[in-house]
Structure 1
Amino acid sequence: MSDRIANAQLRGKVMTAEEAAQFVNHGDKVGISGFTGAGYPKALPTAIAERAKEAHAKGDEYMIDLFTGASTAPDCDGVLAEADALRFRTPYQSDPILRKKINEGITLYADYHLSESGLYVEQGFFGQMNVAIVEAVRIKEDGSIVPSSSVGNNVEYLDNAEKIIIEVNSWQSENLEGMHDIYRINRLPNRQPIPITAPEQRIGSTAIDIDLNKVVAVVETNAPDRNAPFAPVDEVSKQIAGHFLDFLEGEVAAGRLSYDGYIMQSGVGNVPNAVMAGLLDSKFENIKAYTEVIQDGMVDLIDAGKMTVASATSFSLSPEYAEKMNENAHKYRESIILRPQQISNHPEVVRRLGLIATNGLIEADIYGNVNSTNVSGSRMMNGVGGSADFTRNGFVSSFITPSVAKGGAISAIVPFASHIDHTEQDVKVIITEYGYADLRGLAPRQRVEKIIALAHPDYRPLLEEYYDRALKIAQEKSIMQTPHDLATAFSFHQRFLETGSMK
């Protein structure tokens, strides 16, 4: 038995994943740890999936409702989806098998802002939470849990579930202990201001206290997180990063930012990682992050002395950097803080700190509305995640994207976004490899020229043609605020569905 289980009462609950899975019944609402492929349970999902397969083979029903922090991994979301074990899923996912099940209508999916998902559980919007399955670095003598590489919604699931299953993963470095900052927000209507005025502030404890009487099983594992490598930085990503830095320099020149006062939030992916690589050679120093995830680029900034603190709820690292984190967690816990996502994404704190937020998109329209979730309006990709938490409340809300996808068949700039997650009121800056459009202070018609200039040259004439047609209709009918030709507003999407290309 692992020496990571220091509580005598819980040492008596150690069992196999297959045995523990018997506590998860058909129809249960199950909250698990995990955020962007970090800190999710490694053994129970497969054991639950096997239970589902056995039940289905007998003609019995077996499906659960699954709640997470955000995305997990193929050996979690993937195996459960493949076994048709998921009736309902929230709040964010990225697994291709699960995505297929959602779009086929087999799994119901509710897309919620990450800052709100834990609150919804607390308030009972989904009904009673039956089981919480949480990965830990270790269980302390008093029975409290030291989380692993993410915190996510762990606190809410542990507090509200009837039963608790703990996976103690010896792959995770014990030196992660001390990196976490666990703070509980009082339940409504007794909430108080969150006492964070700077990203480096710690306001809670390093472990999660739990009701030991709710623990029904402890499972030992030794398995890595899902750590996907980042793609090499290509020329387009470098150009986008360059334009983003140009924008930051403009903010310095305007007196709205200083070289030692940049507090950042960054979405996940290759392009945001390229932006952080660009910061290494920039004039910016003493960079701070108050964000969702710690990526490779932030680790590089910390190593270079460019970033002094990174506050998040999870890691999202490549295999190489995950190993580096495990080996040097004792060092990185001095500058990295992992918080519950109700804190890392909380609008109150985001607004107070004055973040410059940077996220990706699927498409933006010529007026600045952004679609982050649905391809052609109805095919779910991943979900809104925490992008809106930061977009709505950040000091500057920027979106970065290559101008085209699928070899040029899809334009990231369209006449009218086929689904809108971030409205024109919240989107301040859009950046592609062709430059950046600062939309602040502009009326809708003033934004059009700037946004079309960001499109790939193959699509600019089509966008200009659409706007000219929409403008003519608007002038004839005296409806000039946001000119649209509704008969052809989705012509790009219709053409793509019919021919496989928006051109």
Structure 2
Amino acid sequence: MSNAARILNPTLRSKIMSAAEAAALIPPGANVGMSGFTGAGYPKAVPLALAQRIEAAHARGEPFRVGVWTGASTAPELDGALAKVNGCAMRLPYQSDPICRKQINSGEMEYTDIHLSHVAQYAWFGFLGKLDVAVVEVAAVLEDGRLVPANSIGNNKTWLDQADKIILEVNSWVNLGLDGMHDIYYGTRRPPDRRPVPINNPGDRIGDRYYNVDLSKVVGVIETNSADRNTPFTPADVNSKRIAGHILEFLEHEVKRGRLPRGMLPLQSGVGNVANAVLSGLIDGPFEDLTSYTEVLQDGMLDLIKAGKMRFASATAVSLSPEAALEFNQNAAEFKKSVILRPQEISNHPEVIRRLGIIAMNGLIEADIYGNVNSTHIAGTSIMNGIGGSGDFARNAFLSIFMTPSTAKNGAISCIVPMVTHVDHTEHDVHVIVTEQGLADLRGLSPKQRAKVVIENCAHPDYKPALHEYFSRALESSPGRHTPHLLNEAFSFLPEWRANQMKSAAE
């Protein structure tokens, strides 16, 4: 179907223009709310045109930067393009682009890393400032002006509600068979007038199929025909398969102990190869009639649905490999029987997560022997991507699992350390830590008990003696014995710390 056939409203059809014309409507200094969540449903044309406009302005010596707000990470056509021309002054709430990351860590770009469930509320109350423009990808415009969402919802509803001006990209690549997959909830209220979010099962529908939009705010409509660009998932390596094996064995044990039902509780999974390995392992596992209440539908969950193992999946976006994305798009009408997409303020809502009893599985950069987790920073000072939704789920899940290979950089760095260099998830929100070496169930343990279990079960053999030695000396010399630490050497596993110590010793 052509784009023109997808823009049925006469008022919006009269506003069709080029991406360059639309980009010209975005002034310097504007805060721009863009669609997009984990590489899905981001605008394909306007950000590139805006980057060209910014580059031309800089060549003339004119200042031109904008603030960019999204649902989560996007793609090179958005984050990468704007960062490359130094066009982004402030980025929030999550990113994963290497150029963007480099500018944040060099101090050239400001970055606000926010729990994804908080973003809409921040926008409503004005904590983020004024939202000037929304640039949102949709699949179609109905005759009455309502909008058919595309492959992600994210914060789009909020951007459309809050922005002074709206630019729409109508992407005809998206199969209209997904019409009806979406559930846009308009019942959210601000404190103190909050009301319960009426979701008791992952498949409950509580909202509308379409976005509502004030047509007078729409200043431009752009026609596109482009697939989302996502990185292919690499086949699970040996360590990923071992981590998946430990988790599956643990879940089976919990079922046998009567602490989980045979059909499990709804699953949440972070993005990545380890997460996909766990999901893929469930295909051959004993569990049936699975459900998911998560942020992102990944290849592994799609495989579970196709295999008849997963009955229903609720998310805010689909983030699939190119091959899986093509299959999902071609069979959207069939998949919408088993998939629902919601705004991220609902997909990540703490109230709903706690009520449903989610099993949350997320990755980490480093964990310390007491169970604190760093999922955002390298060496405590440089951002990697951001906290995303992991905090929303970890704090409120029935079972909070964090997973990682035991080492990084080909074994040069231990991912199990005496003290994390940055804390995103405290020991109170971390129930289980898993590496390829084993699994540590930390529930009900004191700090000293946790340390022994983490070191013994999760640390790599190359680092286990040093961790044991650190803990033993901390037990003897720490001023406090509840959580024993040697603060002058707590970061001794950092290569930079070791290098500086050796340099000082040499001098």
Asked whether the two chains share a fold, i.e. TM above 0.5, the reply is yes
What does 1:104-143 align with in structure 2 at a 5 Å threshold?
104-143=106-145
Q: Which amino acid aligns with 2:169?
A: E
Determine if the alignment matches structure 1 residue 445 to structure 2 residue 448. yes
Deviations 1:249-278, CA, capped at 9 Å, x for gaps: 121122111212331100000001000111
In the alignment, the residues of structure 1 paired with residue 37 and residue 314 of structure 2 have an alpha-carbon distance, to the nearest angstrom, of 15
In the alignment, the residues of structure 2 paired with residue 498 and residue 183 of structure 1 have an alpha-carbon distance, to the nearest angstrom, of 53
In the alignment, the residues of structure 2 paired with residue 286 and residue 349 of structure 1 have an alpha-carbon distance, to the nearest angstrom, of 20
In the alignment, the residues of structure 2 paired with residue 395 and residue 413 of structure 1 have an alpha-carbon distance, to the nearest angstrom, of 24
In the alignment, the residues of structure 2 paired with residue 226 and residue 423 of structure 1 have an alpha-carbon distance, to the nearest angstrom, of 34
Is the 8 Å Cα contact of residues 360 and 399 (structure 1) preserved in structure 2? yes
Aligned to 1:14: 16
How many Å apart are 1:22 and its aligned residue? 1.0
Deviations 1:403-427, CA, capped at 9 Å, x for gaps: 1111011111001000000000000
Determine if the alignment matches structure 1 residue 493 to structure 2 residue 497. no
In the alignment, the residues of structure 2 paired with residue 347 and residue 416 of structure 1 have an alpha-carbon distance, to the nearest angstrom, of 28
Is the 8 Å Cα contact of residues 145 and 208 (structure 1) preserved in structure 2? yes
1:416 to 401, 416, 419: 419
Determine if the alignment matches structure 1 residue 472 to structure 2 residue 476. yes
Q: Which amino acid aligns with 2:466?
A: L
C-alpha distance 484-24 of structure 1, shift in aligned 2 (>3 A) = same
Aligned to 1:349: 352
Aligned to 1:177: 179
Aligned to 1:313: 316
Q: Which amino acid aligns with 2:367?
A: A
Is the 8 Å Cα contact of residues 115 and 388 (structure 2) preserved in structure 1? yes
Aligned to 1:4: 6
In the alignment, the residues of structure 1 paired with residue 253 and residue 358 of structure 2 have an alpha-carbon distance, to the nearest angstrom, of 16
Is the 8 Å Cα contact of residues 410 and 496 (structure 1) preserved in structure 2? no
Identity value in percent? 57
Unmatched runs of 5 consecutive residues or more in structure 2: 503-507
In the alignment, the residues of structure 1 paired with residue 373 and residue 354 of structure 2 have an alpha-carbon distance, to the nearest angstrom, of 21
Determine if the alignment matches structure 1 residue 70 to structure 2 residue 72. yes
Q: Which amino acid aligns with 1:306?
A: K
How many Å apart are 1:494 and its aligned residue? 4.6
Aligned to 1:235: 238
Q: Which amino acid aligns with 2:284?
A: D
Deviations 1:274-321, CA, capped at 9 Å, x for gaps: 001110011101100000000001011001110000000001100000
In the alignment, the residues of structure 2 paired with residue 192 and residue 211 of structure 1 have an alpha-carbon distance, to the nearest angstrom, of 25
C-alpha distance 371-9 of structure 1, shift in aligned 2 (>3 A) = same
How many Å apart are 1:375 and its aligned residue? 0.3
Is the 8 Å Cα contact of residues 298 and 307 (structure 1) preserved in structure 2? yes
Is the 8 Å Cα contact of residues 16 and 219 (structure 1) preserved in structure 2? yes
1:145 to 129, 144, 147: 147
Unmatched runs of 5 consecutive residues or more in structure 1: none
Deviations 1:477-500, CA, capped at 9 Å, x for gaps: 4x111000001001111546739x
Is the 8 Å Cα contact of residues 170 and 221 (structure 1) preserved in structure 2? yes
Aligned to 1:456: 460
Find the residue that maps to 2:246 and give its secondary structure: helix
RMSD: 1.3
Aligned to 2:280: 277
How many Å apart are 1:439 and its aligned residue? 0.3
Aligned to 2:249: 246
Aligned to 1:154: 156
Q: Which amino acid aligns with 1:457?
A: P
Is the 8 Å Cα contact of residues 265 and 357 (structure 2) preserved in structure 1? no
Determine if the alignment matches structure 1 residue 362 to structure 2 residue 362. no
Is the 8 Å Cα contact of residues 372 and 384 (structure 1) preserved in structure 2? yes
Find the residue that maps to 2:226 and give its secondary structure: coil
Find the residue that maps to 2:74 and give its secondary structure: coil
In the alignment, the residues of structure 1 paired with residue 434 and residue 495 of structure 2 have an alpha-carbon distance, to the nearest angstrom, of 25
In the alignment, the residues of structure 1 paired with residue 232 and residue 31 of structure 2 have an alpha-carbon distance, to the nearest angstrom, of 32
Determine if the alignment matches structure 1 residue 428 to structure 2 residue 440. no
TM-score, length basis structure 2? 0.97
Is the 8 Å Cα contact of residues 137 and 176 (structure 1) preserved in structure 2? no
Determine if the alignment matches structure 1 residue 375 to structure 2 residue 375. no
In the alignment, the residues of structure 2 paired with residue 376 and residue 261 of structure 1 have an alpha-carbon distance, to the nearest angstrom, of 37
Find the residue that maps to 1:146 and give its secondary structure: strand
